[in-house]
Amino acid sequence: MELLRAEALYYAGQRETAVSLFAGIERKAGGDSRILFPLGVAYARAGLYDRAERAFQAVLEKYPDEFDVLFNLGRAAARAGHYDRAGRALEVALKLRPEDAETLFELGLLDAARQDYSRAVFLLARAARHAPRRADVQLALARSAEGAGYYGDSVLAYDRYLQLQPEDDAARRDRALVLGLTEAGLPEALRQLTDYIRKHPRDPVAPYDLARLTWRGHPDQALAHLNAAIRAKPDFAPALLGRAWLLYRMGRTSEALPDLLAADRTVSGNPRILQQLGLVYLALDRPAEAEKVLRRAIASDPEDSEALLHLGRALMALGKEPEGEAVLAKFEKVRAPSARGPRRDAGMIELATLPAAERARRELERLRRDSGTHPGDTDLQFHFASLLLMGGQTAEAILQFRELLGKAGDARLWQRAGTALLAFNQHDLAAEFLERAAKELPQSRLDLAIALFHAKGAGPALQVLDGIPEGERHGEYLLLKAQVLDSTGKRPEAERVLRQGLGAVPSRPEVAEQTALLLMRLGQSKDAIEFLDKAAAVHPGDPELQLILAAALFSSGQKPAAERRIREIEARWPEWDRVYLAHGLLLEQTGRPVEAKRKLQTAQALGSEGLPVQCAISRVAGGAVSESACTCAGSLWGSLFGGC
């Protein structure tokens, strides 16, 4: 009777009185499971999950193999956030009833909360098979499939859910986002989200989702969508963070700061917000403020590689070199393995939750499992091999690509594989794929020529180029041929061909890079800068092009413009050691040795090695310099692009 009265009081809004009554009942129970079990149920209904877990645990000690006790203990522990305890109880419950839909559902929800989405999908799909009319199961399955990256499966699960709950417009909105993440569904997704906004103009999520789908190709549109999301809900932290990130990416760094400060007030302590705030402070040359927020980020996650990188940079900028070098050394140890050079741009999906490295790790694990389960799926193996390559796991990636080469495939797959390998300088293997692709896809021949040029020399590359019909020898062909001719010593012919092709910007950024370097070698710095301005606009995500442009500006005497460009590169690709080397050399050669030393030490801490950085550090530190060894590393251009 007291238990019923306590529950009634709780639901009548008299929470404190009810909780006091519950506690009294628990004391009187004296370990009696006939009282503790219904008390645990009552606690759970009232949302008092810690207390419910304690009550069910006491009952379990007497009935360790009782399904109802295990199930309720697991569910209460999960909702209390005690995931390990919940998992143990629910796994035992599932052994007792292997096909129980409710237990499968709870375990699936638990794995989704742990962000193990692939396993959650497996469990929830089983639950849905046993309970196909359960709308909550279908919705959980749709969201877990989205988290796992199974976008097509997620759309299907949303469809089944909406058949059961057709009035749920919010689920239609969420389905539209997932549809937009599929290759073919973007146009329809944009239309559906736009229609949803007309019906629900005060919902901030839909314009935020539109921004997530449009930021890469249409940043100005994405910015307008984020503005709409924030107008609808001024304290909507994901949109504030998203807008700040996008403004920062567009070079409007000072405008990003108020959004990040507002987001930090709304969700205090979020490491993604603090990390981006530190990055913006660094870009605004406010390292002391950057240090404070980045220390807060590291306090919540001492192994956060992004925060460690930016904190190390802040400490170096403040002149705290020993501590800064130690932090950057820790960053080198804890960061995910990556290929030398800067990362590609991160996406806005999960911007406020998982770091990019953790997202990549989970995606890699998923593809590893899936490719093992489906060994005949060549597309799946290609994606797995490509992700290994992007993650710096080159040896394993090459094994996967070699295995892929031995399987039956089509020309388009060989072309994609060859292009992926080419981007990571795996020229020999790229040439093998592209030779196969070129037999059916003539457009592969330019990539094949590039791969052969680096793998086997100018002769084989020229042979492929000369085989391209006259009518297809346009700008990119001419620029590439000029580089190959120059490498053979045929400079006059190379210059003539180069002049013919300069009106075009190559679609391949590496061809644009080599064209600019050739122009600089020929002493045509004005033409090089004009060409680089156009190429950098066409390939804004290629850091090497941006660095070549900065170095060309410096070499032509435009030193302030060069430094502005280097600062922009440094802000956008903060983990790239070469940009700090370039900045240090620029500072040294403009008479600022103290600042130069800090930048050069940062470059060294991030992995720069060899004569350019060693000679420059010796010079700014006033140490002995071997003139003969450092001859080729005496200028910014010579150190970066002179083959020193």
In this predicted structure, what is the pLDDT of residue 477?
79
Cα torsion angle, 628, 630, 634, 638, sign? positive
Whether the predicted pLDDT of 110 surpasses 90: yes
SS3 content of the chain, % helix, strand, coil (to 5): 75, 0, 25
632 lies in a domain? yes
- Report in angstroms the alpha-carbon separations of 287 from 157, 164, 318, 604: 48, 54, 6, 20
Cα torsion angle, 49, 55, 58, 59, sign? negative
Mean per-residue pLDDT, 15-37: 89
Query: Looking only at Cα atoms, what is the longest distance across the chain?
Result: 101
Backbone angles phi, psi at 341, to 5 degrees: 115, 175
In this predicted structure, what is the pLDDT of residue 340?
47
Mean per-residue pLDDT, 32-53: 91
In this predicted structure, what is the pLDDT of residue 459?
87
Task: Give the count of beta carbons closer than 10 Å to the beta carbon of residue 625.
Answer: 17
Cα 230 off chain centre by: 24
- Our count of domains for the chain comes to 1
Residue 299's pLDDT band, with cuts at 50, 70 and 90, is: very high
In this predicted structure, what is the pLDDT of residue 364?
56
In this predicted structure, what is the pLDDT of residue 439?
82
315 lies in a domain? no
Whether the predicted pLDDT of 241 surpasses 90: yes
Q: Which two tokens stand for residue 332?
A: 């080198």
In this predicted structure, what is the pLDDT of residue 333?
83
Cα 80 off chain centre by: 30
| Residues belonging to the chain | 644
Mean per-residue pLDDT, 422-450: 84
In this predicted structure, what is the pLDDT of residue 81?
93
DSSP string, 377-445: -HHHHHHHHHHHHHTT-HHHHHHHHHHHHTS---HHHHHHHHHHHHHTT-HHHHHHHHHHHHTT-GGGH
Residue 208's pLDDT band, with cuts at 50, 70 and 90, is: very high
319 lies in a domain? no
Domain hosting 613: range is 575-644
Query: Average pLDDT of the chain?
Result: 87
Higher-confidence residue of 554 and 387: namely 554
In this predicted structure, what is the pLDDT of residue 360?
53
In this predicted structure, what is the pLDDT of residue 122?
92
Tell me, what DSSP letter sits at residue 201? T
Mean per-residue pLDDT, 625-630: 73
Mean per-residue pLDDT, 124-136: 95
19 lies in a domain? no
543 lies in a domain? no
Mean per-residue pLDDT, 544-552: 93
Tell me, what DSSP letter sits at residue 209? H
Mean per-residue pLDDT, 119-128: 94
In this predicted structure, what is the pLDDT of residue 370?
59
Higher-confidence residue of 313 and 506: namely 313
Residue 171's pLDDT band, with cuts at 50, 70 and 90, is: very high
Give the C-alpha separation, 8 to 3, whole Å: 9
In this predicted structure, what is the pLDDT of residue 41?
92
Whether the predicted pLDDT of 348 surpasses 90: no
Lowest mean pLDDT among 149-158, 204-213, 220-229: 149-158
- Report in angstroms the alpha-carbon separations of 72 from 116, 177, 219, 425: 22, 35, 48, 56
In this predicted structure, what is the pLDDT of residue 644?
65
424 lies in a domain? no
Mean per-residue pLDDT, 180-186: 85
Lowest mean pLDDT among 158-172, 421-435, 539-553, 557-571: 421-435
Tell me, what DSSP letter sits at residue 336? P
pTM as predicted: 0.75
Higher-confidence residue of 376 and 350: namely 376
569 lies in a domain? no
> CA geometry: angle at 429 spanning 428 and 430, to 5°?
90
Higher-confidence residue of 45 and 442: namely 45
Lowest mean pLDDT among 74-88, 256-270, 400-414: 400-414
Residue 198's pLDDT band, with cuts at 50, 70 and 90, is: very high
Higher-confidence residue of 463 and 265: namely 265
Mean per-residue pLDDT, 165-173: 96
* Coil, strand or helix at 283: helix
583 lies in a domain? yes
Mean per-residue pLDDT, 3-19: 91
Q: What percent of the chain has pLDDT over 70?
A: 92
Mean per-residue pLDDT, 301-321: 91
In this predicted structure, what is the pLDDT of residue 95?
94
- Report in angstroms the alpha-carbon separations of 366 from 154, 181, 380: 16, 18, 11
Rounded to 10 deg, the angle between the 543-555 and 559-572 helix axes is 160
Whether the predicted pLDDT of 205 surpasses 90: yes
Higher-confidence residue of 404 and 253: namely 253
